Amino acid sequence: MKNAVPFSMPMFKAWVPRRIQPWIYIVQVFCIQFSGGIYLGALEAVRGTTCLMLEDLLMLLFAGLAGMAVYFPLLFRMKFRFTNQQLLCGAAAVIGICNLITMSTTNMAVLLPVCFLSGMAKLQGTFECMSNIQLWMTPERDFGIFFPILHIVLLTAITGSAWLAAVIAFHFSWQMMHVFTIGTMCLVVTIQLTLCQPFCPMPQRMPLKGIDFLTGLLISLLMLMVSYFLVYGDYLMWLRSPRLRMVLGMSLILLAFIMYRLKRVDKPYISLDIFRYKNVLPILLVTIIAELLLGAEHTLEEIYWTEVRDLEEHTKTAFCLWSLLGVYAGVLITLYWLGQKKWKVWKLFAIGFGCIFGYALMMYFRLDVNIALSEYRLALVLRGCAYAILAASLMWSLHESVHELEHFFMALFIFNILHMYLAGAMGYGLYTTLFKHLMADNMSRYGAYLTLTAGTSMTAGAGLANSVFAVSLKQIFGQLIWASGFMTMAFLLLDIPRVRTGIEKVPYWPVYGIKLLSRQRRNSSSATETYHIDK
């Protein structure tokens, strides 16, 4: 066991009671986590009062996530260069200014970089708060404890901020959520200026020289271009659009140039050596699969609650708070599994994908307008449990594979590109396109019943249209059942020692042929010798 380091928070002034110091930082991290450039719960309200489409708002949302992901390699350099007051006050100021701009304009050329910067500031503030209370959570720096607790904060804020934005937009206006965020950022600045003093863990400040900022900017541009392609793909008919073909071509050229720089620069923004660590590539692959499966939450549920059940935004987000029960259950399971028992992670992955399997199965059999909303609560709980288990356990697995601190934050950059950003955008593009094709196919099959003749009322036609919506969603959830069931069985089999370690690698075919030929020659020579002896 690692030696426990005494916990202290020297950034607080002497008169602040020690017992409440960590809780003050928890209040600050919730203030920062509830912020954003655009808010999920207010999307419908923003669409109704501005000229922005749903794709525009999702592009802004993914721009914020891209800003969070691309900032990971800079976290420790910033922590060792600036004081806690400079970092938290700077993050709060950037978030407050970005929210002021977001509520004042609808120009996408302005909103995109604003949301990107807001995501960077959100990550900076969150890291500064959580890194200062890490030893309070786990004196031994046990990441099997820290990562699950971290996800309590992250997932509570994601669901809670969506609900709060929807409630504020319903009772007041969507701009008031931004006003609320500006108020919470003022609270963070006030806490830092009144209760804290400047403190940096490095007596000799680490300079920012040597950071490959150009490659970081190029990666940011590439992420925004990929977001544009995936978010607007279904709207612009994918590669049938000359604009998307041009964006795809430019993205490939930019990707090639970035890879060239990463291999040529002495201190690259992202070291390609992280892919040489054991299990990094399998972890990233599992992350992509998990996020694609969980993408049903953002797309399929949105279609069902809005188009089929016709729920208001505040009703929908309030009902989805049931997923928080699953989040807390998943965190407790992960804490017990990794933090206390120190068991192997294979079965924990199986439990996570098994929860996705149960969620998809329950949604498949309950997609009916005649079923009460209360019947979906367990499905939401299972979905939240799956997200908490897989997010925390995958991050823990990455830390166990990449031990070097600098490389770990670079690996977190790749991990969060897939976890928070790329897989979510891919899931949106995949599910919207698949749903569109299934709807067209089902409408063509049953279109004759939707013809409004004298014997068919408008109400009956609308009801049948809703049924076709539900059938199309069921078809996609059916595919999720097969995929999540396969992943569950695969990880259960990987936990069996014989399956995990007893399978020999298949050699290249020429090697296999040479071995087989030599074996046949040995057998023929031994048979000849036996014949001569007998004779």
pLDDT tens figures, 305-330: 887 888 888 888 888 889 999 999 99
Q: Is the pLDDT of residue 450 over 90?
A: no
Report percent pLDDT > 90 for the chain: 35
Question: Given this model, what pLDDT does residue 531 score?
Answer: 46
Residue 70, C-beta contacts closer than 8 angstroms, at least 6 positions apart: 120, 216, 219, 220, 223, 413, 417
Question: Tell me, what amino acid is at 112?
Answer: L
Instruction: Please report how the helices 108-132 and 54-70 are oriented relative to each other, as an axis angle in degrees rounded to 10.
Output: 40
Compute the average pLDDT of residues 155-167.
90
Cα–chain center distance at 319: 22
Measure the CA–CA gap between 339 and 141, rounded to whole angstroms: 11
pLDDT tens figures, 108-127: 999 999 999 999 999 999 99
Query: Strands (DSSP E) along 199-295, which ranges?
Result: none
Measure the CA–CA gap between 437 and 429, rounded to whole angstroms: 12
Measure the CA–CA gap between 387 and 265, rounded to whole angstroms: 37
User: Of 4-13, 189-198, 276-285, which one has max mean pLDDT?
Assistant: 189-198
Question: To 5 degrees, how large is the angle CA 384–CA 388–CA 390?
Answer: 115
Residue 443, C-beta contacts closer than 8 angstroms, at least 6 positions apart: 450, 468
Compute the average pLDDT of residues 378-403.
91
Question: To 5 degrees, how large is the angle CA 509–CA 514–CA 516?
Answer: 90
Q: Which of 366, 372, 388, 361 is nearest to 319 (CA)?
A: 372
Compute the average pLDDT of residues 446-475.
64
Question: Given this model, what pLDDT does residue 503 score?
Answer: 44
**Interior/surface letters 279-307, b for 16+ CB within 10 angstroms, e for the rest:** ebeebbebbebbbbbbbbbbbbbbbbbee
Compute the average pLDDT of residues 389-401.
90
Question: Given this model, what pLDDT does residue 496 score?
Answer: 67
Question: Given this model, what pLDDT does residue 50 score?
Answer: 84
Helices and strands in the chain, H and E counts: 22, 0
pLDDT band at 92 (very low <50, low <70, confident <90, very high): very high
Question: Given this model, what pLDDT does residue 431 score?
Answer: 85
Question: To 5 degrees, how large is the angle CA 526–CA 530–CA 531?
Answer: 115
The three-class DSSP label of residue 146 is: helix
Tokens of 184: 């919470």
The DSSP symbol for 5 reads P
pLDDT tens figures, 122-158: 999 999 999 889 889 988 888 889 999 999 999 999 8
Q: Is the pLDDT of residue 463 over 70?
A: no
From residue 532, give the alpha-carbon distance in Å to each of 192, 395, 519, 521, 524: 95, 66, 20, 17, 13
Query: Strands (DSSP E) along 14-127, which ranges?
Result: none
Compute the average pLDDT of residues 180-186.
95
User: Of 265-274, 438-447, 526-535, which one has max mean pLDDT?
Assistant: 265-274
Measure the CA–CA gap between 294 and 60, rounded to whole angstroms: 21
Residue 159, C-beta contacts closer than 8 angstroms, at least 6 positions apart: 320, 321, 323, 324, 327, 384
Q: Which of 339, 389, 391 is nearest to 142 (CA)?
A: 339
First to last CA, the chain: 71
Question: Given this model, what pLDDT does residue 192 score?
Answer: 94
Mean pLDDT, rounded, of the chain: 84
Cβ count near 334 (within 10 Å) = 28
Tokens of 71: 């900032």
Question: Given this model, what pLDDT does residue 526 score?
Answer: 58
Measure the CA–CA gap between 64 and 112, rounded to whole angstroms: 8
Contact 177, 168 (CB under 8 A): yes
From residue 150, give the alpha-carbon distance in Å to each of 137, 365, 373, 465: 10, 34, 31, 43
Question: Tell me, what amino acid is at 217?
Answer: L
Long-range contact set of residues 154-157: C-beta below 8 Å, sequence gap at least 24: 154/33, 154/391, 155/324, 155/327, 155/384, 155/387, 155/388, 155/391, 156/30, 156/324, 156/327, 157/30, 157/33, 157/34
Contact 344, 115 (CB under 8 A): no
Q: Is the pLDDT of residue 456 over 60?
A: no
pLDDT tens figures, 37-68: 888 888 888 888 888 888 898 899 889 988 88
Measure the CA–CA gap between 352 and 329, rounded to whole angstroms: 12
Measure the CA–CA gap between 442 and 471, rounded to whole angstroms: 8
pLDDT band at 304 (very low <50, low <70, confident <90, very high): confident
Question: Given this model, what pLDDT does residue 29 score?
Answer: 94
Tokens of 452: 């409004």
Residue 96, C-beta contacts closer than 8 angstroms, at least 6 positions apart: 181, 182, 185, 186
- Using CA atoms of 96, 98, 104, 110 in order, give the dihedral in degrees to the nearest 10: 170
Measure the CA–CA gap between 76 and 69, rounded to whole angstroms: 14
The three-class DSSP label of residue 12 is: strand
Question: Given this model, what pLDDT does residue 517 score?
Answer: 60
Question: Tell me, what amino acid is at 159?
Answer: T
pLDDT tens figures, 495-514: 766 555 544 444 444 554 56
From residue 500, give the alpha-carbon distance in Å to each of 53, 399, 490, 505: 49, 21, 11, 12
pLDDT band at 453 (very low <50, low <70, confident <90, very high): very low
Could you give the count of Cα atoms lying within 13 Å of 273 in the half-sphere of its Cβ? 12
Compute the average pLDDT of residues 454-461.
49
pLDDT band at 362 (very low <50, low <70, confident <90, very high): very high
